[in-house]
Structure formats: structure tokens, C-alpha cells
Structure 1
Amino acid sequence: MKKTAKRSWADIKGQLSTFDRAGLLGLVQDLYAASKDSQAFLHARFGIGDDVLKPYKSIIDRCVWPDVFKNQAISVSKAKKAISDYRKAIGRPEGLAELMVFYCERATGFCNDVGMENDVFFAALVRMYEQALQSAVALSNDAGHSLVARLDEVRRASSNFGYGVSDDMNILFAEYVPDDR
């Protein structure tokens, strides 16, 4: 039996080179119509709409603060994928930092609201908290300062969590945020 070769970007690129302008526009239109994810990607890439972060925030919100009365499940991986998808679409540092801080705020709010006790969820929260701190501190502008202040609120709100979450956040905050802020 003959094995099929692994398909790659090079194969697609070769096919795209045969398209004219109208063909490429048609292809992009088909991709746009194919899924909400494709639409969000294209809106973010081209800066279309009032809030290009809104679809990504919606996914994060649904995944880290699910409706427990509707038996919705938590999905850290889908929430993180939303941030990754934004990074691929446009990846502006301010937008990435905003999404990471939003993730931390919503995850912390969910834990406080429902009394969540899950070490895997908490570990993911602490990892995202560190990434958010790194991103916010790197901005070094008013937006960055505002994000750091929001992360400080997340840290304070996590004070009653178990599994060392509060201790980890305190250590990370002290490591990334200078005392003279």
C-alpha cells in the first residue's frame, strides 16, 4: 500500500499561487462564512468592529465561569486557546495582556462565587496570572498600570483560596511589580 504524504502549508501555498484576486477574495469569503472563529480572526486581524476582543472575552468568560445551573463545564484549554487565537490573529501586546487579565478576573470571580476547589484549575490560574503580570509590566504605560492594578485586585480576591494560590500570587506580584509603583 502506498502511504500518503503529510500535507503542509507548502501544499496550500502552491495552490494559492494559482488563484487570481477574485479567487482569493472568494476563498477568504468562504473561510469567513465557515465559522465564528474565522470571523473573529479576520475582524481582529483587520481591526474591524468596536471591540475586537469581545469574541475572545466571550469564550474565556464561558470557559472559566460556566453556568453551573446549566451543567456547563469548565474548559481551561478552550479559554487559553481563545488567547492563543487572538495572538495568531493580531497579537497586539495590549490586547494579549487584557485577555490574560480578564481570564484571571473571571476565573477568580468564579472560584469566589461557587467555592471552587480544584488544584488543576488553580495551577492554570497561577500560570496565567504570571503571564498576565509579565505582559502588563512590559507595557509600561497607563494601560499597563491599570492592568497591574486589576491584577492586584485578583491577588487580593484570591486570599481565601486553598492550594497555595494566594501565596503564589503574592510571590509573583512582589517579583514583577516594584515597590515604588
Structure 2
Amino acid sequence: MKKTANPSQADIKGQLSAFDRAGLLRLVQDLHAASKDNQAFLHARFGIGDDVLRPYKSIIGKCLWPDIFKNQTPSVSKAKQAISDYRKAIGRPEGLAELQVFYCERAAGFCDDIRMDGEAFLAALVRIYEQALKSAVALPYDERDALVARLDAVRRVSCNFGYGVSDDMNTLFAEYVSDDC
């Protein structure tokens, strides 16, 4: 077996070609047992479980609305990583939109609850808000309407946030959602 300093996907693919069905099943079993992230990925990829979004929402919720009385701090990067991980696992448009809307709800709720006004946190909220609007309006109307209503609620909660968040959200909402929604 040839060893390289920087193994690549091609190296892994070459090794996988030597596996039989039983070997591949053991590999997947080992990956599943190795970490909760792997479990969430595999459950989402194969549509296993009651709610494949639950582990991703749990991460987003903990990262964007931490327990400040336990000195926990918000982590935008970890919350965004949960959305990215879901996208890699399965990336169904309705699931992606749900996670993005949930991100916005949690971030706006946290800001409103503790009067947080961190510029980077709010800038990330506006970026994800735009992504959520894009994702929601691309869905069929029966799936879209509830998500757009939730994003409108986020926009309304955010009206008193600093750094022009309200203006940005109003502009984005008007750009992506017609008046008759």
C-alpha cells in the first residue's frame, strides 16, 4: 500500500475498491459509531429516523441561543456549519430552507431576549436571512408560505436591532416576497 503525505479522495476511492459488501457495511457501521456528527450525516443521507433535521436544529439552537448564565457564548460559525453539514448529507431544498429559517428565528430571538447587539452576529443573521428568503421562495407555494410568514416574524422582531438590520431585512423581504404574500 502506497502512503502519501496528503491523502486525497482518490486515495480513499482506490482503497474502497478492494472492499466487498460485508467490508463496506462494517465501514459504515464503524463510521456511524465513531461520532454523533457521522450519525446525523448518515441518518440524513438515508432518511432514517423521525426527524433528520433534529440534530442540526439542536446544534443551531445551542449555538445561537446559549445559556449565558453558564458563561456560554454564541457561535455563528458552528451554527452555519450545521447547515453546511446538512447540505452535504442530503441538501433537500425544503430541509435547507427550514434550517435557515430556524437559524434566523433563534438568532433574532436571542438578540431580542438579551438585547445582544454584536455587529458580526447581526451581520451573519442578515446574510442567513437573505439565504433563507431565497430558499423559501424557490419552494412550491404550499411549502413556501409558512416559511415566509416565519421570516416576516423574524423581520418584525428585528425592528429594533442596531447596525441597520431592520432596514436590510425590510429591503430583502420586499425584494424576494411580493406584496400579495
TM-score tier after normalising by the smaller chain length = over 0.9
1:55 alignment partner in structure 2: 55
* 1:34 is aligned to 2:40: no
TM-score by length of 1: 0.97
The 2-side partners of 1:140 and 1:16 are apart by 39
The 1-side partners of 2:125 and 2:17 are apart by 44
Paired-residue identity, %: 78
The 2-side partners of 1:142 and 1:57 are apart by 22
The 2-side partners of 1:34 and 1:140 are apart by 38
1:149 alignment partner in structure 2: 149
Offset, 1:179:
1.1
The 1-side partners of 2:122 and 2:99 are apart by 18
Task: Describe the superposition over 1:85-110 as per-residue Cα deviations: whole angstroms up to 9, x where unpaired.
Answer: 00011100000000000000000000
Q: Which secondary structure state, in structure 1, belongs to the residue aligned with residue 66 of structure 2?
A: coil
Q: Which secondary structure state, in structure 2, belongs to the residue aligned with residue 127 of structure 1?
A: helix
1:64-103 superposed matches below 5 A: 64-103=64-103
The 2-side partners of 1:65 and 1:132 are apart by 19
Task: Describe the superposition over 1:22-54 as per-residue Cα deviations: whole angstroms up to 9, x where unpaired.
Answer: 110001100000000000001111111111000
Question: Which aligned runs of 4 or more in structure 1 are off by greater than 2 angstroms?
Answer: none
Task: Describe the superposition over 1:50-93 as per-residue Cα deviations: whole angstroms up to 9, x where unpaired.
Answer: 11000000000000100001111211010000000000111000
What do you get for the CA RMSD once the two structures are aligned? 0.8
1:128 alignment partner in structure 2: 128
The 1-side partners of 2:72 and 2:180 are apart by 43
The 1-side partners of 2:47 and 2:10 are apart by 28
* 1:171 is aligned to 2:179: no
* 1:161 is aligned to 2:134: no
Task: Show structure 2 runs of 5+ residues with no match.
Answer: none
Task: Show structure 1 runs of 5+ residues with no match.
Answer: none
1:12 alignment partner in structure 2: 12
| Count of residues in Structure 1 that have an aligned counterpart in Structure 2 | 178
Counterpart residue type for residue 114 of structure 2: V
The 1-side partners of 2:79 and 2:64 are apart by 7
Offset, 1:140:
2.7
The 2-side partners of 1:91 and 1:179 are apart by 29
